[in-house]
A and B are shown apart, each in its own frame.
Chain A
Amino acid sequence: EAQVTQNPRYLITVTGKKLTVTCSQNMNHEYMSWYRQDPGLGLRQIYYSMNVEVTDKGDVPEGYKVSRKEKRNFPLILESPSPNQTSLYFCASSRGRQMMNTEAFFGQGTRLTVV
């Protein structure tokens, strides 16, 4: 089954404690990205990757890091989480901008609470 898998689904952590949210896709997609969803703000892109070892900032990158060492994985790292990073996070993948089909496939989401 084609899917994007995120883990964990729910996470409560304390301010300053480093955490990683994993994301994996099994569709051989080139393009992967992370979004955060906040009420009234929609989905905002944090970081994206157009291929292995190629990453770039989205609209709200402050406080986040990513890496793309393998095509299928795109972890999101919060080195020192703060309460304003409490949000619902989504990983997404798509074939890539050159393809006609640009449908983005989203994971199930990770609900993060930083206290």
Chain B
Amino acid sequence: QQQVKQSPQSLIVQKGGISIINCAYENTAFDYFPWYQQFPGKGPALLIAIRPDVSEKKEGRFTISFNKSAKQFSLHIMDSQPGDSATYFCAASMLSNTGKLIFGQGTTLQVKP
């Protein structure tokens, strides 16, 4: 049972374009939604996170959009750069429970120069 579904599996974007990765979750008890970025040969690292009391969070070129009623959230990368090429994972967690992170399947992003 995949509690967090992520799409697309892979994405190719031209430099300067907008990259959009989508995630959907099932459990309405989730109350923390982070995105992790992973470069080849490295472990994932926290990129940006949101809680369900806000609909959008922006940090530099990275924005999370959150739709609580649709149980969906997405990552937007504006002005995508070749250095953004990585694998991105969305995740969900219940802070009131174990704090366990449940990850999506991952999206491999390639930004072409």
- Is B98 within 8 A of A109, CB to CB? no
Pairs A–B under 8 Å by Cβ, sample size 22? A31-B99, A35-B103, A40-B105, A42-B89, A42-B106, A45-B101, A48-B100, A58-B100, A92-B43, A94-B99, A97-B97, A97-B98, A97-B99, A102-B34, A102-B93, A102-B95, A103-B34, A104-B44, A106-B43, A106-B44, A108-B41, A109-B43
- The interface residues of chain A lying within 8 Å CB-to-CB of B6 are 42
| A interface residues with partner B (beta carbon < 8 Å) | 4, 31, 33, 35, 40-45, 48, 50, 56, 58, 90, 92, 94, 96-97, 102-109
- Interface check B32, CB cutoff 8 A: yes
**A96 lies within 8 A of B99 (CB):** yes
Given contacts A40-B9, A102-B93, A102-B95, contact A45 B100 (CB under 8 A): yes
| Total contacts A-B at CB 8 Å | 61
**Complex CA–CA separation, A9 to B48 (angstroms):** 27
Bound together, the chains give a CA A107 to CA B105 distance in angstroms of 19
Give A102 to B46 CA distance when docked, in angstroms: 10
10 new A-B contacts at CB < 8 Å, known A40-B9, A42-B6, A97-B96: A42-B103, A42-B104, A43-B101, A96-B99, A102-B32, A102-B95, A104-B46, A106-B43, A106-B45, A107-B43
0 or 1 for each of B78-113: is its CB under 8 Å from A? (1 = yes): 000000000001000101111111111110000000
B61 CB-CB contact with A under 8 Å: no
Contact A43 B100 (CB under 8 A): no
How distant is the Cα of A42 from the Cα of B103 in the complex, in angstroms? Answer: 6
In whole angstroms, what is the CA distance A103 to B95 when docked? 11
Residues of A contacting B9 with CB < 8 Å? 40
Q: How far is the CA of A79 from the CA of B70 in the complex (A)?
A: 44
